[in-house]
Structure 1
Amino acid sequence: MGFKDVAKPHYLGHRERLRKRFRDGGPDALPDYELLELVLFRAMPRRDTKPLAKAILARFGTFAEAMNAPEDLLLEVPGLGEAAATEIKLIRAAALRLMQGEVLERPVLSSWQQVLDYCRAAMGFEAKEQFRILFLDKRNQMIADEVQQQGTVDHTPVYVREVVKRALELSATAIVLVHNHPSGDPTPRRADIEMTKQIVDAAKPLGVVIHDHIIVGKQGHASFRGLV
């Protein structure tokens, strides 16, 4: 007596159709929840991931918000375990590494849009303020990208002496200052303007140029280039 064929789970055909649409049309051929399904496939090989993908988007709003969500908040979504959360964090890390590589390959001032995109992707969705510095050589190519300080939801302590000291340690001739506003609104505050002027005044006699101070948030970015 032979064994009866076991019916394949319905989601297997759905997965293959999604993969084919992605191969044929690229990411633009898929709405956010289906792209998120593809991300979840590897972490959940034996499960229909469509309901979970929709639940994640219902919780965070957009694909970008989901990719940038802290792991502890991701794990609050029912059915999303550590493996899936790690897969999401891996996708974000890979995207940032790719963007950083694109910035490293060419002079910063001639690839300014890539710099802005990278800074916004790296910091724009953070829940706490960070102060980051891009250190440049005499060809204006990035030699280091460092988060100097992390603060609260609306303040980051910045030590002017430490900023200039680190630039000299790296033999940087120019720097780009970057910080984020977790509120989402990148409009500069008075303290941001004063701090920028202090760093410009301290760095100039030592031959270090401040190309810009960029503030990033979910709603865009603000540039201090007219001030520095």
Structure 2
Amino acid sequence: MSKDRPDEFAEAPFPAPEPDDHAGHRQRVRERFLKVGGDALEDYELLELALQLVIPRKDTKGLAKTLLREFGSFSGVFNASEARLSKVKGLGETTIAHIKVIQAVAARFGRDRIDSDQPILSSWSQLIDYCRSQMAFESVEQFRILFLDKKNRLISDEVQQTGTVDHTPVYPREVIKRTLELSATALILVHNHPKMPISITQDHAVSH
């Protein structure tokens, strides 16, 4: 056999790895988030970033857009039940758990922003943000009561009743009973309409 003849059994050189377009896209989105903040990102971009934490090796842009179409809004995705989320192709148990953890973190963050040592009515916008984080995107109506002391500081935040998609019962006797139990001197009554803005009514109650 001629020595000049190439060895037909020699291993062919491996082709150079193709650039990972998905990795490059993820990096660009992360860098943009760190540079301009979440408020400057579209809903699908922020959701895409959240999904990347549990789906690190796939493009999550398409999945993010699918979720927004399916559930109607950014908040709708995180408020969706586990049963509904499980029907979306591409979502496994780990990713669904991650979505629900983010929902719980957002609710906890909203509660912690209300300083129990400060009057809750000192910032109307803060109150609206708090109520929205707790109940604005619930799938059924809730009747919630914020019990306040004489300095308008929060004593307790309680869901008094839960109803259907368009109705929730209210029992004044139970409201008064609980108000007396907590020695509250003021109330903020809140109810939501699923997929509609929340409604807040300030009222006052006599503690004795």
Global fold match (TM > 0.5): yes
Give the equivalent residue in structure 1 for 2:33: 22
Is 1:127 matched with 2:139?
A: yes
CA contact (8 A) 1:129 1:180 kept: yes
Give the equivalent residue in structure 1 for 2:106: 95
Give the equivalent residue in structure 1 for 2:8: none
- The CA distance in 2 between the partners of 1:126 and 1:178, in whole Å, is 13
Is 1:113 matched with 2:120?
A: no
- The CA distance in 1 between the partners of 2:155 and 2:25, in whole Å, is 46
- The CA distance in 2 between the partners of 1:180 and 1:128, in whole Å, is 8
- The CA distance in 1 between the partners of 2:144 and 2:199, in whole Å, is 17
Give the equivalent residue in structure 1 for 2:76: 65
Unpaired runs of 5+ in structure 2? 1-10
CA contact (8 A) 2:120 2:127 kept: yes
Give the equivalent residue in structure 2 for 1:221: none
Unpaired runs of 5+ in structure 1? 208-228
Matches within 5 A, 1:119-198: 119-182=131-194, 184=196
Cα deviation, 1:85-141, whole Å, max 9, x if unaligned, reads 222222222222222222235311111221122212322221211111111122211
Cα distance, 1:187 vs structure 2 = 7.7
- The CA distance in 2 between the partners of 1:172 and 1:120, in whole Å, is 23
Cα distance, 1:65 vs structure 2 = 2.4
Residue identity matched to 2:110: M
Cα distance, 1:24 vs structure 2 = 0.7
- The CA distance in 2 between the partners of 1:95 and 1:147, in whole Å, is 18
CA contact (8 A) 1:130 1:150 kept: yes
- Judged with a 3 Å threshold, the aligned counterparts in structure 2 of structure 1 residues 186 and 118 are, in CA distance, closer, same or farther, namely closer
Cα distance, 1:147 vs structure 2 = 1.0
- The CA distance in 1 between the partners of 2:88 and 2:157, in whole Å, is 33
1:28 counterpart SS class: helix
Instruction: Work out the percentage of aligned pairs sharing the same amino acid.
Output: 53
- The CA distance in 2 between the partners of 1:138 and 1:186, in whole Å, is 25
1:104 counterpart SS class: coil
Give the equivalent residue in structure 1 for 2:42: 31
> TM-score, normalized by length of structure 2?
0.80
RMSD over aligned Cα atoms: 2.8
- Aligned residues, how many? 196
- The CA distance in 1 between the partners of 2:32 and 2:167, in whole Å, is 45
Give the equivalent residue in structure 1 for 2:6: none
Q: After the TM superposition, which of the residue ranges 139-148 and 84-93 deviates more from structure 2? A: 84-93
The structure that has the greater radius of gyration is 2
- The CA distance in 2 between the partners of 1:26 and 1:98, in whole Å, is 18
- Judged with a 3 Å threshold, the aligned counterparts in structure 2 of structure 1 residues 8 and 170 are, in CA distance, closer, same or farther, namely farther
2:114 counterpart SS class: helix
Give the equivalent residue in structure 2 for 1:82: 93
Bigger helix share: 1
Residue identity matched to 1:139: K
